[in-house]
Amino acid sequence: MGLRRPLILLGPPGAGKGTQAKRLAKRYAVPHLSTGDMLRDAIAHGTDLGKKAQPIMERGELVPDALVLALVEERLGRPDAAKGFIFDGFPRTIAQAESLSRILGSRGFGKPLAIEFRVDQERLLRRLAGRWTCSIGGETYNIYERPPKTPGVCDLDGGKLIQRPDDRPEVVRERLAAYERQTAPLVDYYKRSDALETVDGMAPVDEVQRVLLEIAKRTGASDGHL
């Protein structure tokens, strides 16, 4: 089982992109490419990129396209990317989408399929306020909707659960505004090229996953053995 077209999970902060991207990546045995995770990793390692990105992310704004694109190009150049990939949180601007299309074309990948997650704002705020992430494996929990069995501890690997600094309410407001301003126009961008599907992100996690797998199969983005 595998992917014929790269999948782009598109949606506002807290829509469930990361939760589903991890599951799909496992299912299709392809890399999960999260620019947010890559930037947080750069910050944790104190790299030059991390130093530039940190204050921007703390304000809830988007990191400049050139910095993000350099990260993505480097990642797509690694051997495991040849099997396809799940994009989570990228592209986030029209310029990033245009560059991605050029990069994919030049490397012989199929046309990507964007899947928009629809979730109302009240639910997004609650999800982000309740999100806790495993400091070892990155599994995501939610104290309101998907709590871990033991508070503060990952069910999968026993890692300590931590909260993201940009999940503070004042930063979340700016992240949502940045989404509307800079990322929401991608919905029309992919619709125009007939490469957009939509999923109800308010449904339970397993149901969202089921619909995503069905979409991938129906559109020929996956090889159909699911």
Which of 6, 31, 89, 112 is close enough to bind ligand AP5 by CB under 6 A? 89
Among 3, 8, 10, 15, binds ligand AP5 (CB under 6 A): 15
Question: Measured at the alpha carbon of residue 174, what is the angle toward residues 40 and 6, in degrees to the nearest 5?
Answer: 55
User: In which order are the strands placed within the sheet that holds 161-162?
Assistant: 140-142, 131-134, 161-162
Q: Which is nearer to ligand AP5, 52 or 146 (CB)?
A: 146
60 touching ligand AP5, by CB under 6 A: yes
One DSSP character per residue, 84-147 reads --EEES---SHHHHHHHHHHHHHTTPPPPEEEEEE--HHHHHHHHHTEEEETTT--EEETTTB-
Q: Which residues are catalytic?
A: 17, 92, 131, 164, 175
By the rule CB under 6 A, 142 interacts with ligand AP5: yes
49 binds ligand AP5, rule: CB under 6 A: no
The helix, strand and coil proportions of the chain, stated in percent and rounded to the nearest 5, come to 50, 15, 35
Q: Is position 69 an interface residue for ligand AP5 (rule: CB under 6 A)? A: no
Half-sphere exposure of 174 (CA within 13 A, CB side): 12
Member of 146, 168, 191, 217 binding ligand AP5 (CB under 6 A): 146
165 token code pair:
């600094």
Number of residues that bind ligand AP5 (CB under 6 A): 36
**Residue positions counted in the chain:** 226
Whether the CA torsion 146, 150, 155, 158 is positive or negative: it is positive
Smallest gap, in angstroms, from Cβ of residue 223 to ligand AP5? 25
> Of 23, 99, 127, 161, which one interacts with ligand AP5 (CB under 6 A)?
127
| Between 130 and 223, CB nearer to ligand AP5 | 130
Which is closer to ligand AP5, CB of 58 or CB of 223? 58
Alpha-carbon dihedral angle through residues 125, 127, 132, 137, given to the nearest 10 degrees: -120
Q: Does 125 engage in binding with ligand AP5 (CB under 6 A)?
A: no
Structure-derived torsion over alpha carbons of residues 30, 33, 37, 38, reported in degrees to the nearest 10: 120
Q: Does 175 bind ligand AP5 (CB under 6 A)?
A: yes
Site residues (vs ligand AP5, CB under 6 A)? 11, 13-19, 35-36, 39, 56-57, 60-63, 68, 89-90, 92, 96, 127, 130-131, 140-142, 145-146, 166, 175, 203-205, 208
